[in-house]
Homo-oligomer: A and B are copies of this chain.
Amino acid sequence: MDNLDHRIIDHLRRNARANYGDIGDDIGLSASAVKRRVDRLVADRVIRGFTVQVDPEVDGLGTEAYVEVFCRGTVAPGELKRILLNVPEVVEASTVSGSADAMMRLRSRDIAGLETALERVRDLPHVDHTRSSIVLSKLIERNRD
């Protein structure tokens, strides 16, 4: 992870479909040297994937909520992950410090979709209750994912 790797990542962040020659021209390496570095970055999981930024309206998932999950007793993170993966609306989930066991981000078509997803989460084993904050309007979104 030297300076050249950082500059390659910067370039790919701006355009993940850039060709190796152009990246190389930018940073002063040959195309094949760039390819070798990109391959290594992918193999080392420094680069997790190449993706596309899409107009949110497109997939009809305009409704979002932050939901804290409170469990009964102690639940291992792996177990929690396994059970939360059953709810497709769960876009993100992390164990957190504080009184909640986990924080999730949910995405759905509309409020009704959110409601059914929340019912499913509350019916999962170990889950005691949840506490939701429905997103009213997005103020800031600085993409670094």
Residue of A53, A91, A95, A144 with highest tally of chain B CB at under 10 A: A144
How many chain A residues sit at the interface, stated as a range, is 35 or more
Residues of chain B contacted by A55 (CB below 8 angstroms)? 45-48
Q: How far is the CA of A96 from the CA of B106 in the complex (A)?
A: 13
Decide: B136 and A95 in contact? CB cutoff 8 A: yes
Indicate with 1 or 0, residue by residue over A1-19, a CB within 8 angstroms of chain B CB atoms: 1000010010011111100
Decide: A15 and B49 in contact? CB cutoff 8 A: yes
Decide: A48 and B58 in contact? CB cutoff 8 A: no
Using CB atoms, name the residue of chain B closest to A140: B93
Decide: B66 and A46 in contact? CB cutoff 8 A: no
Q: How far is the CA of A8 from the CA of B141 in the complex (A)?
A: 24
Main secondary structure of the interface of A (DSSP, over half): strand
Residues of chain B contacted by A138 (CB below 8 angstroms)? 92-94
Chain A residues 105 to 143 lying within 8 A of chain B, measured CB to CB, are 107, 131-143
Which A residues fall within an 8 A CB radius of B? 1, 6, 9, 12-17, 45-56, 58-59, 61, 64-66, 68, 77, 80-81, 84-85, 90-98, 100, 102-104, 107, 131-145
6 nearest A-B residue pairs (beta carbon): A16-B50, A96-B133, A48-B53, A81-B139, A93-B140, A12-B52
